[in-house]
Amino acid sequence: MHGFHTQPDTDGALRLLTGLGLGAAMPNSTTLLSEYVPERSRSVLIAIMFTGFNLGSGMVGFAAAWLIPLHGWRSVLIVGGALPLVLVPFLLLLLPESVRFMVVHRLAAPRIAATLSRVCR
């Protein structure tokens, strides 16, 4: 990792992309959760989700405090970048598409029914 240098414009562009990704995570999570959970427990589950976001943000500090003495400050960036990439296949496999999206894009009715039956068990 020695000799790894970036220019300020590259850092700015990467920071912008990170901000866009993180900024999109919360509204998308809220939308999917509110679409798929029963109305009677929706508010409680959304509150738990928001608490989980904040708890996860706080846990990053503890992870960084553990990683930095062992592997240096760059390890936090590597783990923080690699972990979401490792999760992508699981999200693609397990995260359902929004029913509204499927209807607007005129996907086949059996596919919409299969998604609803999988989520609404």
The 10s digit of each residue's pLDDT in 37-47 is 888 888 898 89
Tokens 């706080």 correspond to 58
Closest CA to 116 of 29, 105, 46, 103: 103
Beta strands in 38-89 (DSSP E): none
pTM: 0.62
**Number of Cβ within a 10 Å radius of residue 119:** 13
* 3-class state of residue 107 by DSSP: coil
Q: What is the pLDDT of residues 78-117, one digit of tens each?
A: 998 898 899 999 988 888 888 888 888 888 888 888 887 7
Burial class (CB in 10 A: 0-12, 13-18, 19+), 53: middle
